[in-house]
Amino acid sequence: MASEGLILKVDCPDRPGLVAKIASYVSDHSANLVEFNQFTDRVGEKFFARLEIDTSGLDVEDFISGFGSLGRSLEARWHFRKLPYKMRTAVLVTQTDHCLREILWRTELGEMPIEVTSVIGNRADCCGIAERSKLPYHHVEMKEDKEAGFKEIQRLLKEQDVQLVVLARFMQVMPDWLCKEYEGRMINIHHSFLPAFAGANPYRQAYERGVKLIGATCHYVTPDLDAGPIIEQEVARVQHYHGVKDLVRLGRDCERSALAKGIRYHVHDRTILDGNRAIVFPD
């Protein structure tokens, strides 16, 4: 990713010459295209693109405002993000900690441009992990009054000016109103290829069914439970000698990998939502 520049995401009705028009706009402003990914959905007759632009020596504000004329002529939706940046991210947890640890580790490595504002949990199990990373931990009780608990979570998210919410094995069903408020900005990891093996003890269910593949699905959260646009999926082969503990181990690896990729694609603006699906331009 360029140290100084812009990311541009655009989608519009498909028509001839779109790539040339967008590339020409960049060239006419003497900017340098670092990356140009595009996809044409021939069934839906839509065009999607992600551009990374080196803007060294360029009037960035003029470049952004000037694109409006082209965008409107293409009947497009578009979004610019200035580089470099860090996306303010809250991580929600319950008891299991492997996804939280993966996020913190990859953030420390610099793989994901995020700033973890806090860890929020409906149990205290992950408090020590947050404290060792010098992050605030907010224990929000959900047993007696879940609505009050979700209102408190909403308050924390607003107070911290959170741009992305990650459900890192947060074992509570998000209310519709909070899903809608963070539409396209809330990511979840699910322990299977959706919607298989829902409910309690998914790996025991998988074991009892004798599955040959298990996986994990990273998706955007919507009011329809576990049915949001899929960002990434991972899979592992199951052998006949694998027991429930082995499936848990394999599944845990899938969850960590799928969630890390899903977050990275989102924060690097490599996803474009198109109804019930996500168009993803992997790195």
Which residues are catalytically annotated?
Answer: 226
Which runs of E-coded beta strand occur in 94-156?
114-121, 137-139
**How far is residue 214's CA from residue 250's CA, in Å, rounded to a whole number?**
8
What would the DSSP string read from start to end of 200-215?
A: S-HHHHHHHHT-SEEE
Chain centre to alpha carbon of residue 173:
18
**How far is residue 160's CA from residue 117's CA, in Å, rounded to a whole number?**
7
DSSP classification of residue 233: E
CA proximity to 92, closest of 71, 119, 69: 119
Indicate the length of the chain as a whole number: 283
Determine contact, residues 169/96, Cβ cutoff 8 Å.
yes
Residue 184 token pair: 């396209």
**How far is residue 219's CA from residue 18's CA, in Å, rounded to a whole number?**
29
The pairing of strands 32-41 and 87-93 is unpaired
**How far is residue 164's CA from residue 279's CA, in Å, rounded to a whole number?**
18
